[in-house]
Structure 1
Amino acid sequence: MFRRLSPVLLCLSLVACSAPAPDEQEQAVVQAEQRAEQDAKPAPQTEVATDAATCDATQAQWTVGKAIGDADLEQARKDAGAQTARTLKPGQVTTMEFNAARLNIDVDDKGVATAVRCG
């Protein structure tokens, strides 16, 4: 009455009854939707770190029109909250990197300050 199925036939019948594998294109669509959802989420807000040594050149504007000596340069650096300060003479070779914590005082040929800036 009951006939035994061979293990191979039993296995094939179970495979035939299982759900079909998802199509590659469907998988690609699902993955694309998931990436789009991730990209649509707003990026977490990061706070901008404020460095205590950031330069504020407006605090050293008193040097403009004045002959700058070492003591004046140091006082201007402190007033601006800069880590370093330098005077720049006309035609002087300088480095071009920006340093937000450095005070630059441009002077003329006589050593009189003509401009103050950070960088």
Structure 2
Amino acid sequence: MSRPVLPLSLLILALAACGAPPPDEQQQALAQAEQRARAQASRAPEAPPPADADACDATQAQWLVGKTPGQADADQARTDARATSVRLLKPDQPVSMEFNAARLNIELDEKGMVVSVRCG
């Protein structure tokens, strides 16, 4: 009769070892998690990186799209976009592919009308 008691006692010990941690540990873990969540929520959001003063902003020269620009218009668009240089790009015109963040590119169609304005 002692044989069936031995495996039953081992089973009870095994189940006791696999049980949940004592409630005080669970409460402590929950309190720590809540504290981390509050600290994360109270942090100030990161500020966006400052804009590069040398880079142009093509959104300020979008007024040129749909127009046939003269030299005065190109110069005004360069000034508005805070670009250091401007180039007019005609269809099938060979251009260098180097990126220049301070340059304003004005793309023209076959009739000389502006189809897009971008930096680079």
Partner of 2:82: 81
Deviation, structure 1 residue 51: 3.4
The one-letter amino acid paired with 1:61 is Q
Deviation, structure 1 residue 68: 0.8
Partner SS state of residue 77, structure 1: helix
Higher helix share: 2
Deviation by residue 1:20-74 (Cα, 9 ceiling, x = unmatched): xxxxxxxxxxxxxxxxxxxxxxxxxxxx775322110000000000001100000
Find the aligned partners of 2:89 and 2:114 in 1 and give their Cα distance: 9
Find the aligned partners of 1:71 and 1:58 in 2 and give their Cα distance: 18
Partner of 1:37: none
Find the aligned partners of 2:106 and 2:90 in 1 and give their Cα distance: 9
Find the aligned partners of 1:49 and 1:95 in 2 and give their Cα distance: 29
Where do 5+ consecutive residues of structure 1 fail to align?
A: 1-47
Over the aligned positions, Cα root-mean-square deviation in angstroms equals 1.7
The one-letter amino acid paired with 1:87 is L
Deviation, structure 1 residue 87: 0.7
After TM superposition, list the pairs within 5 Å mapping 1:43-62 onto structure 2. Answer: 50-62=51-63
Deviation, structure 1 residue 108: 0.9
Aligned pair count reads 73
Deviation, structure 1 residue 100: 0.3
Find the aligned partners of 1:81 and 1:103 in 2 and give their Cα distance: 9
Q: TM-score, normalised by structure 2?
A: 0.57
The one-letter amino acid paired with 1:67 is T
Percent identical pairs in the alignment equals 61
Partner of 2:94: 93
Deviation by residue 1:59-96 (Cα, 9 ceiling, x = unmatched): 00000000011000000000000000111000000000
Partner of 2:17: none
